[in-house]
């Protein structure tokens, strides 16, 4: 009888996407460091209350170009890990959709903070494509409203001040409890409740590997900490895992 194959949970943060041209938030050159006021553009209270915040938020999205970003070697390494036959689940704090775009099956990706590829009306809850909303901004609408009811549009992402979908969080907790190896990639592990997932994994007997350019609160209890650039470190880590090293 074949032995049970170990389940690998991979939590990814903004750091995995920086090589795709998407800036991170809390790193030394992150968005919050360069422009501390930018955080209000993704905070639900100011966003809903102030049309000027929404206008600046739409401009930020248009200038970021995240919808056109391409997966990088870090994303593609996780595809190779999944295709190796090892059981893998990717939990991502990113909203860029690059894990799915890289070829990971949708059922194996849990988007903890939602997706930037869609928008939703806060009044009637109708969803539509972010690309369509950005096209309206480019055409001269600084704060495009819902075409169905005229309500405020927001990205289908979890903004600061909002709570995670409890169903999604329960799924993440279950994966953390069931995994044998928990790999945290490109995340500062400072934003809760997601930051608690490595601790849940450790408490249930998993090994912990951290791949991040800056220190995290979990470094002292991790089995391995890798400081190399993610686009080179993650492919090498995947090679080792597939080889059983």
Give the tens place of pLDDT for each residue, 10-53. 999 999 999 998 876 555 555 554 555 778 888 999 999 999 99
Going by C-alpha positions, the residue among 210, 203, 159 that lies closest to residue 184 is 210
> Per residue in 194-241, pLDDT tens?
999 999 999 999 999 999 999 999 999 999 999 999 999 999 999 999
What's the pLDDT score for residue 63? 81
> Per residue in 54-113, pLDDT tens?
999 999 888 877 678 899 999 999 999 999 999 999 999 999 999 999 999 999 999 999
Contact yes or no for 110/171 (Cβ under 8 A): yes
Is there a shared CATH topology between the 1-22+71-113+164-245 domain and the 28-68+116-157 domain? no
The reported pTM is 0.89
Average pLDDT over residues 142-167: 95
- When the candidates are 3.40.50.150, 3.40.50.300, 3.40.190.10, 3.40.50.1220, the CATH number that belongs to 1-22+71-113+164-245 is 3.40.50.1220
- When the candidates are 3.30.1600.10, 1.20.1050.10, 3.30.2130.30, 3.40.640.10, the CATH number that belongs to 28-68+116-157 is 3.30.1600.10
What the block records as the tokens of 202 is: 């450790």
Average pLDDT over residues 166-182: 97
Average pLDDT over residues 181-192: 95
Known active-site residue 99:
no
Going by C-alpha positions, the residue among 128, 99, 81, 85 that lies closest to residue 22 is 99
What the block records as the tokens of 34 is: 């360069």
204: left (phi over 0), alpha (psi -120 to 50) or beta: alpha
What the block records as the tokens of 73 is: 């070697």
186 Cβ neighbours under 8 A, 6+ residues apart: 12, 13, 14, 15, 16, 17, 18, 24, 74, 211, 212, 213, 230
Question: Which of the residues 113, 117, 192, 204 is marked catalytic?
Answer: 113
How is the chain split into domains, by residue range? 1-22+71-113+164-245, 28-68+116-157
């Amino acid at each position: 009888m074949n032995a049970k194959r170990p389940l690998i949970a991979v939590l990814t943060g903004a750091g995995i996407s920086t090589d795709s041209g998407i800036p991170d938030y809390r790193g030394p050159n992150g968005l919050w460091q360069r422009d501390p006021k930018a955080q209000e553009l993704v905070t639900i209270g100011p966003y809903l209350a102030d049309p000027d915040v929404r206008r600046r938020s739409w401009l930020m999205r248009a200038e970021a170009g995240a919808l056109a970003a391409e997966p990088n070697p870090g994303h593609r390494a996780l595809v190779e890990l999944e295709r190796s036959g090892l059981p893998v689940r990717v939990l991502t704090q990113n909203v860029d959709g690059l894990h799915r775009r890289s070829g990971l099956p949708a059922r194996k990706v849990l988007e903890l903070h939602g997706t930037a590829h869609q928008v939703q009306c806060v009044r009637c809850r109708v969803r539509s494509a972010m690309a369509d909303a950005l096209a309206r901004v480019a055409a001269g609408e600084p704060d495009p409203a819902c075409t169905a009811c005229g309500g405020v549009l927001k990205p289908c992402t979890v903004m600061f001040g909002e709570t995670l979908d409890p169903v999604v969080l329960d799924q993440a907790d279950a994966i953390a409890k069931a995994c044998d190896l928990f790999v945290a990639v490109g995340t500062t592990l400072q934003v809760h409740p997601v930051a608690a997932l490595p601790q849940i994994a450790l408490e249930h007997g998993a090994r912990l590997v951290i791949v991040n350019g800056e220190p995290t609160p979990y470094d002292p209890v991790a089995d391995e900490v890798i400081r190399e650039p993610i686009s080179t470190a993650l492919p090498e880590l995947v090679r080792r895992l597939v080889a059983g090293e």
